[in-house]
Amino acid sequence: MKGKVVSCKHQVKDVKTLSECSAEFRPVVGVDGPLVAKIPVVLAEPEVQINVEALIPLPERVLEIKRILKDLKITQCKLVPSGRFVDGLRIYKLFLEGCVRKNIEYATVDSHPRNKFRISGDIKHTTVNVPWHCVVEVPLDPDILVFREPRFFSDRIDFISKSGLSRDPHEVILRNRSDFQEKPFCEIVDAEVVELDIQEDGACWVQGEKTFRKLREKMVIHVAFKILQTQQVNIPRNNG
C-alpha cells in the first residue's frame, strides 16, 4: 500500500535553495612599525557579583510559570578616581547601572471552566526590566590609565606700580588650561543570572490548584566585563 503523498504547495512562498560559493582568502596585511596607533587598551577585566531582589506583579492570576528568558544590559559604566593609593596602585570607583530584561511566559486559568475536573487557559507572556546598580572598587596602575582630572588654573602676575613694589589691582593676567582624555568604557564579556522565584498573593484556588498574582525574585548576577580606554600606543618595528 502506497503511503500518502504530502504536498509542499501553498505553505510558504518564494523558497530558494542556495548553493555554496567558493572563496579564496587573502593574507591579512598590516602596517609595520614603528608607528603610533590610537586603539582601545584593556585596563582591567573584573568579574562582579550583584545581588538583586524584586517583586514583579503579574497582569492576571497565574497557574504556573512556563519559562523565563533573561538578558543583561549595562546602561552606565563610569570610572571615578577616589584619591587613594594602595601598594602603588590608584583606587578608582566604578559606578555600574543596568537592568535584567525578563520575558516571563506563564499559564493562565479560564475564568469559566466547562469541566470541573480539568483546568484550561492560555499561555501568555509579560516583559519587565529589573534595574540594578552597584559600585566596584578597581585598583589600577597609574601608568596604564591616562586619566588626569581636567585642571583649570589661573596664573596671576603682579606688576610693579609706580609707587613702589606692590601689586597693581588694575592689571591681571589669567590663563586657563584643560587636559582632555578619552573616557573609559565597558564591554560585557559574559554574564550569568541565577534566581529563586517565590510565588506570592496566592489566595485564589481553582479546582484544588493555587494561583498567584505576584512573583518575588532573588537574583544573583555574575557579570564579567572589560574596562577599556582609547589611547595612543607605540607599536615597534617587527624584528621577525
Query: What burial class does residue 96 get, using C-beta atoms within 10 Å of its C-beta: 0-12 exposed, 13-18 middle, 19+ buried?
Result: buried
pLDDT, tens digit, for every residue of 15-42? 888 899 999 998 988 888 889 999 999 9
Nearest partner of 58 among 223, 212, 233, judged by Cα: 212
- The verdict on whether omega for the bond into residue 34 sits within 30 degrees of 0, i.e. cis, is yes
pLDDT, tens digit, for every residue of 155-192? 333 334 444 445 556 666 777 666 677 888 899 999 99
67 versus 15: the higher-pLDDT residue is: 67
Q: Look up residue 164 and give its DSSP letter.
A: B
* β-sheet bridge partners, residue 105: 67, 125
204 versus 201: the higher-pLDDT residue is: 201
Sign, Cα dihedral of 50, 55, 60, 61: positive
Q: How far apart are CA 104 and CA 102, in angstroms?
A: 6
pTM for this entry: 0.70
